[in-house]
Structure 1
Amino acid sequence: MTVRFADGAAPASASFWLVGHASKGTRRVEVFRKPRSPDVCEKERDEAQAEARQCQEDKARLLAERQEPGGLMGAAWLERAGTLASKTLLGSVRELPGNALGLEASTSSSYTLSDKTRPVSVAARLSLKNPGAEPWTLAGAALVDKEGEQVDLATWQQEPIPANGASAVVVGIEGEPAQLGCPCKLMLWEAGGPRTVTLENVTFPEDKAKGP
Structure 2
Amino acid sequence: MHATSLVVLLWLALLAGSAAAQGNMVPGNGARRIELGPDDSGALTEIAVSPGLSTVILFDSELVQEGIALEGRHVFSNVDVGRTTMRLVPSERGTPGEKFRLSVRFRDGAAPPGASFLLTIHPARSDRLVEVYRSARTVESYQQEAREARAEMLRCQEERAHLVSEHGAPVGLAGLLATGGIDANGVAGRVVTETVSSDRRSALQPFMVQSFRSKTRVALEVFLSGLRGGLPWTASGAALRGPPGTELKVLRVWQASPIASGGPGRVVIEAEASAESARGSFSLKLWEAEGPRTVTIGNVTFP
Q: Deviations over 1:85-118 (max 9, x none)?
A: 1011111100012111011111000013xxxxxx
What TM-score does the superposition give when structure 1 sets the normalisation length? 0.55
Indicate the SS of the match to 2:228.
Answer: coil
* In structure 2, C-alpha distance between the alignment counterparts of 1:63 and 1:89, rounded to whole Å: 25
Residues 175 and 108 of structure 1: is their aligned pair in 2 closer, same or farther, counting only changes over 3 Å? closer
Q: Aligned equivalents of 1:132 and 1:77: distance in 2?
A: 42
1: distance between equivalents of 2:190 and 2:261?
A: 29
Corresponding residue number in structure 2 for 1:88 = 191
Q: 1:78 to 1:167 in 2, by over 3 A?
A: farther
Equivalent positions of 1:44-59 (< 5 A) are none
Residue in 2 that maps onto 1:20: none
Which one of the candidate residues 243, 247, 250 is aligned to 1:146? Answer: 243
Q: Aligned partners of 2:286, 2:172: CA distance in 1, in Å?
A: 19
SS of match in other structure, 1:163: coil
CA distance in 2, matches of 1:81, 1:95: 33
Larger radius of gyration: 1
SS of 1:171 mapped into structure 2: strand
Which whole-Å CA distance do the structure 1 matches of 2:227 and 2:193 have between them?
20
Q: Quick one: which of 204, 207, 219 aligns to 1:104?
A: 207
1:34-53 aligned within 5 A: none
User: Following TM superposition, by how much is the alpha carbon of 1:123 offset from its aligned partner in structure 2, in angstroms?
Assistant: 0.1
Local SS of the residue matching 1:81: coil
Distance 1:150 1:141 in 2: 11
Per the TM alignment, residue 172 of structure 1 is displaced from its structure 2 partner at its CA by: 1.0
What is the match of residue 182 of structure 1? 280
Displacement of 1:180 in angstroms is 3.7
TM-superposition CA deviations, 1:172-200 (whole Å, max 9, x none)? 11355982442011111112011111111
Provide closer, same or farther for how the CA distance between residues 177 and 87 of structure 1 changes in structure 2, counting only shifts above 3 A: closer
Query: Which residue of structure 2 lines up, in the alignment, with residue 122 of structure 1?
Result: 218
How far apart in 1 are the matches of 2:272 and 2:219? 9
- Displacement of 1:131 after TM fit? 2.2
Q: Which runs of 5+ in 1 are unaligned?
A: 1-61, 113-119, 206-212
In the other structure, the counterpart of 1:76 is 176
CA distance, structure 2, for counterparts of residue 171 and residue 178 of structure 1: 19
Q: TM-score, normalised by structure 2?
A: 0.40
Shifted more, 126-135 versus 86-95: the winner is: 126-135
CA 165–77 in structure 1, closer or farther in 2 if over 3 Å, else same: farther
Q: Secondary structure at 2:176's aligned position in 1?
A: helix
1:127/1:176 Cα in 2 relative to 1: closer, same or farther (>3 Å)? same
- Note if contact 1:144-1:185 (Cα within 8 Å) is conserved in structure 2: yes
Q: Secondary structure at the match of 2:236?
A: strand
Against the structure 1 CA distance between its residues 189 and 177, is the aligned structure 2 distance closer, same or farther, given a 3 Å change threshold?
farther
Figure out how many residues of one structure are paired with residues of the other and give that number: 135
d(CA) in 2 for partners of 1:164 and 1:196?
A: 16
Tell me the percent identity.
Answer: 30
**Which runs of 5 or more residues in structure 2 are unaligned?**
1-15, 23-166
Question: Equivalents in 2 of 1:142, 1:101: separation in Å?
Answer: 16
RMSD, matched Cα = 3.1
Q: Distance in 2 between matches of 1:86 and 1:175?
A: 15
Match of 2:268 in 1: 170
Q: Is the 8 A contact 1:185 1:201 kept in 2?
A: yes
Mapped to 2, the partners of 1:164 and 1:78 lie a distance apart of 41
Contact 2:248-2:272 within 8 A present in 1 as well = no
Query: Secondary structure of the equivalent of 1:76?
Result: helix
